[in-house]
Structure 1
Amino acid sequence: MPQTVRGVIAMEKDAPVSIQEIVIPDPGPGEAVVDILTCGVCHTDLHYVQGGIGDEYPYLLGHEATGIVSQIGEGVTEVAVGDKVILNWRAVCGECRACAKGQPQYCFDTHNATQKMTLTDGTELSPALGIGAFCEKTLVAAGQCTKVEGVTEDQDAAVGLLGCGIMAGIGAAINTGAVQRGESVAVIGCGGVGAAAIAGASLAGATTIIAVDLDPKKLEAAQKLGATHTIDSSQTDPVETIRELTGGFGADVVIDAVGRPETYTQAFYARDLAGRVVLVGVPTPEMTLELPLLDVFGRGGSLKSSWYGDCLPSRDFPMLVEQYRLGRLDLDAFVTERISLDQVQEAFGTMASGDVLRSVVVV
């Protein structure tokens, strides 16, 4: 039988979000219903509210979540009822040209649940990133569920952040940037994603990890996650300082976690010859980049974009959870506060102030 639960809805562009009753259908073939435990408040959710992602209102917000599988549909083999899972927005198809080449982390045909969740009047909802987890239950494709084991109730809030931004940052370092032991890494922009890239660089064994930001509070947080040096770019030229900190050469890997032409240009010139630049910050549609083509050729190396940290959830989530449980990855440091569903609108304001890495809804 369909179930009615509470969820956080963005009814129209730039309007305050509201708690509404939503209807969760029984899962169809390949689908699962998940009872939500925790869900992080991500900038992407705010972009949905602001119309920065689309205009398919109303949106059911939330996507960085942990939960318990409570129902599964026909043919589901990935998870079983009772499994604790992290939700993801990359349910791979297994059939596209990327999957056929053995690169499912680049799947070009990821999918979500086929059925729609609705308001009680039948209005269809658009779930954020195909998940919609600011609610008591949600309907997803079973492939969007990654089973994790050994995670306690106290750890749920931290582990759930792997579902989006924290995975994007860690993956930018360990997957896209392929940071190696002993290398130098600079991260420009130390919000949630950038801070996670610093944690990823530390996990990979980088020995010089340089955090760059305008905000002293973010630089302080970056140090706790593994940064060996910090640069306040409002006071110091970050390119020159990164070179000074790396023997005059530049970093082996520079990660742009902001996604602006100015910061990308800094990343480009702050890397060593044959170094790697990784763009994980998301630009806006109107942004353009101009670089001398001779410099692109002459500096060698690689310029990469990182989609979701180039992660494969079934591979990366359990590995990172294990690193967390072993004390090698401090996911708890990203959880600034725990809130209720009713406090999501307030959390968007706190996010804008820059005072949090993540607010996490505990359902």
Structure 2
Amino acid sequence: MNNTLPETMKAVINHGPHDYRLEQIPVPTRGPGELLLKVEAVGICASDLKNWAGAAKFWGDENRPAWSETECVPGHEITGRIIDLDDEARAHWDVELDDRVVLEQIVPCWDCLYCDNGDYHMCAPHMMYGFKRANPGGMEEYMTVSTNSLVHKISKDIPPAHAAFAEPLSCALHAVERANIKFRDVVVVAGAGPIGLGMIAGAVAKSPAQIIALDMDPRKLEIAKKTGATMTINIAEQDAVQVIKDLTGGYGADVYLEGTGHPSAVPQGLNLLRKLGTYVEYSVFKENVSVDWSIISDDKELDVLGAHLGPHCWPAAIRLIEAGKLPLDEICTHQLPLEDFQKGLDMVESGKESIKVSLIP
């Protein structure tokens, strides 16, 4: 280990629902084949907020198991510089000292049914950075990267918060891939937050006929236009279902990508899709959602698909970020010191001031 490093570091520790604390803990020592990173940025997302609130309680279902262990360091949208490694790590990830890297949030076992089939993002043990003590997350000054991890190099010429955006962007791109968008399609993206804006950027690369962004915040809708939306609808002022039906001769949209996490966005999507349309869900909901399943089956025969994490999409996400395809200065609105982690969580919960909030350890 680098002898110039301090013995202790600042880290956010999860002690239970609404009980995260900034503490001094020992700087970790990497094991054989592992990396030691100086964390440069870690984003805060809806799942971090859900975790902070106490996952089971957040769902309103005390029988639902919590996502996270206590005494864990949260944070899974991570970028950092490599400050210590060995030859095994060099060969495994094709990295070198001082490379900037981003980490996929999942740490696969590489030995279960899903990993064997190439679906590593659905790994049965499902270890993830920031949720288990065995894989501390990025809300700390230094962290180790275990040998099962997926590591990608990213440019050192972009701001750290932009590099950390590779995680939500990869997730959004996976949702776009699930949608199987065609050139003729009218695509509707619900929500112009980090995931929704990433969906718009991904949809642009598929060249559909229309990309329509829905939100209630005029500022976010303007950023959606800069990201590539061909049309925006403020759902606080207009009936999105009627507007889209009028636009499509009464039929409805071909594809609906849901990225708000608000229960009302689910029936909205089912109602504004045409028959044989495609609905892709990528949200962390605060509560259970009920819908009329007859719309999905008897009325429209919809394809309803889920999307989880960003498997195989990280190289594309990194290319989009490095090429400047998204207005990241306007998307990555707030960068806060680690000491202000609670302010960051509060900003994400409110959603009124920020789009993407990152901590800079």
Q: Which SS does the other structure have where 2:159 is aligned?
A: helix
C-alpha contact 1:7 1:22 (8 A) present in aligned 2: yes
C-alpha contact 1:48 1:59 (8 A) present in aligned 2: no
**2:102 matched to 1:86?**
yes
Instruction: Specify the alignment match of 1:248 in structure 2.
Output: 250
Aligned ranges 1:261-276 → 2 under 5 Å: 261-276=263-278
Q: Which SS does the other structure have where 1:201 is aligned?
A: helix
C-alpha contact 2:38 2:141 (8 A) present in aligned 1: yes
Which of the numbers 198, 204, 225 marks the counterpart of 1:223?
225
**2:143 matched to 1:138?**
yes
Out of 38-47 and 268-277, give the one that drifted further: 38-47
Which of the numbers 95, 101, 113 marks the counterpart of 2:117?
101
TM-superposed CA distance for 1:137, in Å, is 0.6
**2:79 matched to 1:66?**
yes
C-alpha contact 2:43 2:77 (8 A) present in aligned 1: yes
Q: Which SS does the other structure have where 1:144 is aligned?
A: coil
Which of the numbers 144, 158, 162 marks the counterpart of 1:154?
158
Instruction: Specify the alignment match of 1:350 in structure 2.
Output: 347
Q: Which SS does the other structure have where 2:106 is aligned?
A: coil
Distance 2:9 2:128 in 1: 20
C-alpha contact 1:188 1:194 (8 A) present in aligned 2: yes
Distance 1:134 1:73 in 2: 24
Distance 1:332 1:146, change over 3 A: farther
Which of the numbers 171, 190, 193 marks the counterpart of 2:192?
190
TM-superposed CA distance for 1:182, in Å, is 4.0
Distance 1:142 1:69, change over 3 A: farther
Matched letter for residue 77 of structure 2: E
C-alpha contact 2:171 2:313 (8 A) present in aligned 1: no
Distance 2:237 2:122 in 1: 39
Distance 1:47 1:292, change over 3 A: closer
TM-superposed CA distance for 1:245, in Å, is 2.5
Matched letter for residue 347 of structure 2: T
Matched letter for residue 62 of structure 1: G
Distance 2:231 2:157 in 1: 34
Q: How many residues align?
A: 343
TM-superposed CA distance for 1:81, in Å, is 4.6
C-alpha contact 1:324 1:330 (8 A) present in aligned 2: no
Distance 1:129 1:220, change over 3 A: farther
Distance 2:344 2:306 in 1: 29
Structure 2 gap segments, 5+ residues each: 56-65
TM-superposed CA distance for 1:21, in Å, is 1.0
Distance 1:92 1:126 in 2: 14
Which of the numbers 315, 321, 324 marks the counterpart of 1:324?
321
TM-superposed CA distance for 1:92, in Å, is 3.0
Distance 1:361 1:59 in 2: 17
Matched letter for residue 101 of structure 1: N
Distance 1:205 1:166, change over 3 A: same
Distance 1:135 1:141 in 2: 16
Distance 2:86 2:132 in 1: 19
Matched letter for residue 42 of structure 2: C
Instruction: Specify the alignment match of 1:361 in structure 2.
Output: 359
C-alpha contact 2:67 2:131 (8 A) present in aligned 1: no
Out of 323-332 and 213-222, give the one that drifted further: 323-332
Matched letter for residue 342 of structure 1: E
Distance 1:94 1:247, change over 3 A: farther
C-alpha contact 1:111 1:141 (8 A) present in aligned 2: no
Instruction: Specify the alignment match of 2:59 in structure 1.
Output: none
Distance 1:105 1:347 in 2: 27
Instruction: Specify the alignment match of 1:336 in structure 2.
Output: 333
C-alpha contact 2:334 2:358 (8 A) present in aligned 1: yes
TM-superposed CA distance for 1:254, in Å, is 0.2
CA deviations over 1:38-61 (Å, ceiling 9, x no partner):
112223222222112546323422
**2:8 matched to 1:4?**
yes
Which of the numbers 159, 170, 194 marks the counterpart of 2:173?
170
Q: Which SS does the other structure have where 1:267 is aligned?
A: helix
CA deviations over 1:103-131 (Å, ceiling 9, x no partner):
33443344458xxxxxxxxxxx9659944
TM-superposed CA distance for 1:74, in Å, is 9.2
Matched letter for residue 359 of structure 2: V
Distance 1:97 1:214, change over 3 A: same
**2:216 matched to 1:203?**
no
TM-score (norm 2): 0.83
Q: Which SS does the other structure have where 2:188 is aligned?
A: strand
CA deviations over 1:225-278 (Å, ceiling 9, x no partner):
122222222232221222223332211110121334432111112112221100
CA deviations over 1:205-243 (Å, ceiling 9, x no partner):
223111112222222222221222222222322212222
Q: Which SS does the other structure have where 2:84 is aligned?
A: strand
C-alpha contact 1:203 1:328 (8 A) present in aligned 2: no
C-alpha contact 1:259 1:282 (8 A) present in aligned 2: yes
What is the aligned-residue identity percentage? 25
TM-score (norm 1): 0.83
C-alpha contact 1:70 1:81 (8 A) present in aligned 2: no
Instruction: Specify the alignment match of 1:304 in structure 2.
Output: 305
Distance 1:283 1:143 in 2: 29
